[in-house]
Amino acid sequence: MTHDFTLPATSGTTFTPAAALGKNLVLFFYPKDNTPGCTTEAQQFRDLHEQFKQTNCIVAGISRDSLKSHENFKAKFSLPFELLSDADETVCNLFGVIKLKNMYGKQVRGIERSTFVFDSQGMLRHEWRGLKADGHAQEVLDFVATLN
C-alpha cells in the first residue's frame, strides 16, 4: 500500500487503507459537508452502495470537516459509508488534492473533488481529479466492476 495513513472516521472508528486489503477501495475527496455538489456526490455513492458492496468494494469519503460535521452530514443523508476527517490536510497533501480555487473572485485553498480507486492488493488503479459530482459515482462503480 503506497498510500498508507490513519484518519479518524465516523461511527467512532479509525480508518487505514491497509485494513481494506482484500477488498477494492474507493476514496472520494470532497470540499465540504452539506454543500450542493458534495451532497449530490455523497447521495449518489449512497444510492449505489449495495452495488459497490457486490463488487467487493469499500467506499469512504474524505474532507477537512470535523467528525461532528461528518456525523451530522452522514445522519442527515443516511450515508452507509464512513466519512474521514482530515482536518490538518495530511492525507489531502499525500494525494495532492489541495488546490487554489476562485470563490467569488477570491483565491482560496480547498479540496479539488477527486476520487482514487485501489484494488484488493492496495494498488492504485485509477484516479479522477477536478471532476463533476453528478454522475461520478456511477462512473466509479463501472470502473470498479472491471477489477473483479
Instruction: Retrieve residue 81's grid coordinates.
Output: 459509508
Q: Is residue 127 over pLDDT 80?
A: yes
Confidence of residue 104 (pLDDT cuts 50, 70, 90): confident
- The pTM score is 0.94
- Chain-centroid distance of CA 73 in Å reads 14
92 catalytic, yes or no?
no
Beta carbons within 8 Å of 105's beta carbon, 6+ residues apart: none
**The pLDDT value given to residue 1:** 45
Residue ranges of domains in the chain, CATH in brackets: 7-145 (3.40.30.10)
**The pLDDT value given to residue 2:** 54
Question: Which residue, among 139, 18, 71, has the nearest Cα to 61 in the 3D structure?
Answer: 71
Q: Of the listed 7, 27, 38, 83, which one is catalytic?
A: 38
CB 29 within 8 A of CB 115: yes
Backbone angles phi, psi at 33, to 5 degrees: -60, 145
Instruction: Retrieve residue 140's grid coordinates.
Output: 466509479
As a whole number, the mean pLDDT across the chain is 94
